[in-house]
Amino acid sequence: MNNEIVVYITTFTWILACLGIFSWVGIVFYLKSKWLPLIEDILEGGRRLYSLNIYLAGQGSLHYATVFLSKWHAGRMNMQEKRENVPKNAQRIFILSFFFFMANFVLFFSTSVLIVLIRKYS
Amino acid sequence: MNTSASMPSNYAIHIVEKVMPVDQLIMILYNNPSPIVYSHFKQVNQHIKNGLVQPGQIVLISPANTGECSIEEQKFLQVAEKVDRTLMQLAASEREILAKRYDFLNNAASYSGLLLGVSNTSWQSHVKQVKAILKNIERSYVTSYNTHGNLNNQAFFQARKMHFISLNNALLRFAQPKLGGNLLPGDIRNNLGLSTKSIVHQWNKQGGPAQSIPNFTANYETVAKMARNLKRVGHLGIALTFTSGLANIQKACTVGNDSTCSKSKYTETGKAFGSIGGGIGGGAVTSWAVCSLAFGVPSAGTSAFWCALVAGAAGGYAGGTLGGMAGNEVGEVLYEVKSTF
């Protein structure tokens, strides 16, 4: 494939992934205001950490999605039984936002490395 | 204390932290200053008005044995006057924060504006939490007094104990040895200036239903003020990333030709978006991978907060750097495409 076409595809993907990451921040704002306090009430006995601010909420949304996705991780955090009390639709939103973020993250960083390398060595 | 690069090594610049007479500042800065030191210091630092130094002002510290004014000292005066003009745009409390956190701000500005935003916003959230608990404590005092006419009842003691435990936990998150540690409810009361006896006495003096605990309001007003100031400084951090990009565009458009100017608009914008996007992505993934996956840190206690802050800042910095580099290249590609058509 022509080097120029690769650069254009990479650039286009990078822009989309960057927009995706910014959109994910919007999703985290929604999760923080709507679901995180409820999930902390159920899983953490009302202890607030991830709903305190937007920076921690980002990590919190990924953390709880992992708890909902993995039985092993839930067991390790002592949340295997408690997670059954979390509404299923809330679990789905966390899991979807997790995959949305991971897809954009992987695309953003792989295209970042690719574009820097291509431009440096061409 | 910060030494300017354009000054000879035996000069230093001091950033004033609080209002004080200039003579007092000289006494603090110099060891047994002679009358010559006083007169020379005042001559060099002529920007100091009415014999008082203000927070955030910069003063030049010349070697104690200097008598005559050097060229560098004359140049310094111009810089100091510029700094004073900048300081006029800030409130007094903001100037103090600026002076006390100058090194931190300076370092953060050199590395990443985002980092500053992260640390200050986290701090601010904790301050907000403490503020809410303090309000609850006050409410339980007022409710008990209005309902029972005294503070000597079991319901009040229980509510107060519960609030003090929450306050203790919240203060522990600050990791401040002065306020945190394993404080007992009694100690917290002393720290906040609360005394049951004096409160009742003063309320009785006021007459009517109790509205607020005297002297107590001042405590959370101070905390609120701190949060407000830090919030503004936090926003400054985010703005720094874009400001640096805008400054580079301005520089290219002033110094370079049309194409350099146009190109820099693309590359600097790409760099700013890349840095922030990369910072967010890198920070979130690193803190999740390190704190949740690798260590499985529980949310109780301070470990999760500090782990998230340190791992998030490190990942954010790495992600921001790579994202910025890529954003620069992406901007260049877009500029080339635009130039072709």
ipTM of predicted complex: 0.92
A13 contacts in chain B (CB < 8 Å): none
Mean pLDDT of A101-119: 94
B288 contacts in chain A (CB < 8 Å): 59, 62-63, 66
Of residues B118, B299, B332, nearest to A55 (C-beta)? B118
Of residues B124, B282, B330, nearest to A14 (C-beta)? B330
Measured between CA atoms, how close is A40 to chain B, in angstroms?
A: 10
User: pLDDT confidence of B140, banded at 50, 70, 90?
Assistant: confident
Would you tell me how many other CB atoms lie within 10 Å of the CB of residue B152? 11
Structure tokens at B118: 């992260």
Q: Is there a contact between B313 and B277 (Cβ–Cβ < 8 Å)? A: no
User: pLDDT confidence of B169, banded at 50, 70, 90?
Assistant: low
pLDDT attached to residue B297: 80
Measured between CA atoms, how close is A8 to chain B, in angstroms?
A: 8
Q: Which of B273, B299, B328, B332 to mutate to test the interface with A (most CBs of A within 10 A)?
A: B299
For residue B2, give Cα distances in angstroms to B26, B34, B56, B322.
Answer: 17, 24, 13, 31
Cβ of B326 within 8 Å of Cβ of A66? The answer is no
Question: Each residue of B188-203: pLDDT tens digit?
Answer: 555 555 555 444 444 4
Percentages of chain B per state (helix, strand, coil), in multiples of 5: 70, 5, 25
Q: Compare A2 and B156 and report the one with higher pLDDT.
A: B156
pLDDT attached to residue A66: 95
Q: Compare B12 and B172 and report the one with higher pLDDT.
A: B12
Asked whether the predicted pLDDT for residue B154 surpasses 60, the reply is yes
